[in-house]
Copies of this chain bind each other. A is one copy, B any other.
Amino acid sequence: MPRVTLQTIADALGVSRSTVSNAYNKPDQLTQELRERILAEATKLGYAGPDAAARSLRSGKTGAIGLLFTESLPYAFSDPYAVGFLTGLAEVAERHGTSLLLVPVDTGLGGTPEADLERAVRQAVVDGFCLYCVDESHPAVDIIRARGLPMVATYPPKDPHLRSVGIDDEAAAFKAGEHLARLGHERIGVVMDRWFGIRPFPPLDLEGPTPIQQVIDLAPGEESTFRLRGYRKALPDADIMVTTAERNSRAAGAVAVEELIDQRCRSTAILAVSDVIAFGVIDALRQRGLTPGQDLSVVGFDDVPQAAEFGLTTIRQPMVDRGRMVGRMLLEPDTIAERQVRLPTELVVRTSTGPRPS
């Protein structure tokens, strides 16, 4: 049997296609009564409404926004920060009747062939993209650019034309470092993750603890080194060693901190670049019978919901608001004047930090 289209309904009722179209898209343009007759006929004939693809093609609108997301969805969903962000983004999207298209991108770890990923970005029927922790140098970003779609990044990009919602990473990290400085700490360990955002570059591999300045010099201009810079600035004379966690997870944080704890002259404080990593650090301490905030101070970054439960001193950065703001920049671009929005951060002191043990 032939497919039921707008025309089918129009013919059945002896009206024009435009009128049927209006019944769905511009209810005010026709009488209530006609509209209902049309909708009833549609239901009767099993017509589900205007075809989505045809509508998108003709109108140029799709009713969806794309989210360029880490390839590893299970990891992404178990990251409380990502969940908070998505929550905010989804809230705004929903208000606009807009769906979210998750487009996984290559993390550089291989897996999906690059061609497939680019194909997914080309084929995505969306009105715009959010780059979630995906670096602007990723090839997928060039495709979005060529498609002429609006996009918003989740961190301050190098390209001044690219809109973004971020924080001042250096200033935020400075607050964390300053807090430790006030408490008298002079030997500090930093646990960062292996990734400077998702990109086609090889990840960072440090062989054991490395002096902070050396790491900063390795990747100038990257988001993660901005944090290192902030730490360094607040603690100019401290002995700061950096280790990397395999990924941004609790377990990896616990592993990564081991070499810092088990050193003979161990640090008196640990700065973790995320709360999730900090939780792992705390696990490792407890496992060794050490008490966070007494034997060793721990500072996180993010202030995810679980941080309170851990008594974790950390830097609060907006999660849900960041998602909301990205959503607004994509869906209500005219309401936001700035190209690069910086959200506020704040030091939250809990029990995981204390004065340097004497």
Contact = CB atoms under 8 A, between A and B. Distances in A.
Interface of A: 46-57, 60, 62-64, 66, 71, 73-74, 77-78, 80, 83-84, 86-87, 90, 94, 97-104, 112, 116, 119-120, 122-126, 143-144, 146-148
Given A54-B57, A125-B62, A71 B100 contact: no
A123 B74 contact: no
Given A48-B146, A64-B101, A64-B125, 14 more contacts: A48-B147, A53-B57, A56-B57, A63-B120, A63-B124, A77-B77, A77-B87, A78-B80, A78-B83, A97-B112, A97-B116, A99-B101, A99-B102, A100-B102
Contacts of A125: 52-53, 56, 62, 64, 125
Contacts of A64: 101, 123-125
A-B pairs, 7 with minimum CB distance: A48-B146, A53-B56, A74-B87, A125-B125, A53-B57, A63-B123, A48-B147
Which of A77, A103, A120, A144 lies at the interface centre, i.e. has the most chain B CB atoms within 10 A of its CB? Answer: A77
A54 B56 CA distance: 8
A62 B77 CA distance: 25
A139 to B, nearest CB: 11
B102 A120 contact: no
Contacts of A103: 99
A90 B116 contact: no
Contact of A90 (B83, B90, B104, B147): B104
A177 B101 CA distance: 41
Contacts of A123: 52, 55-56, 62-64, 97, 99
A321 to B, nearest CB: 14
Contacts of A48: 122, 143-144, 146-148
Contacts of A47: 146
A327 to B, nearest CB: 12
Contact of A77 (B71, B83, B116): B83
A95 to B, nearest CB: 8
A101 B144 CA distance: 18
A83 B87 contact: no
10 contacts: A55-B123, A62-B125, A63-B123, A64-B101, A64-B123, A66-B99, A71-B94, A94-B116, A97-B119, A100-B102
Contact of A99 (B56, B86, B98, B120): B120
Contacts of A112: 94, 97
A343 to B, nearest CB: 19
A147 B147 CA distance: 28
Contacts of A71: 94
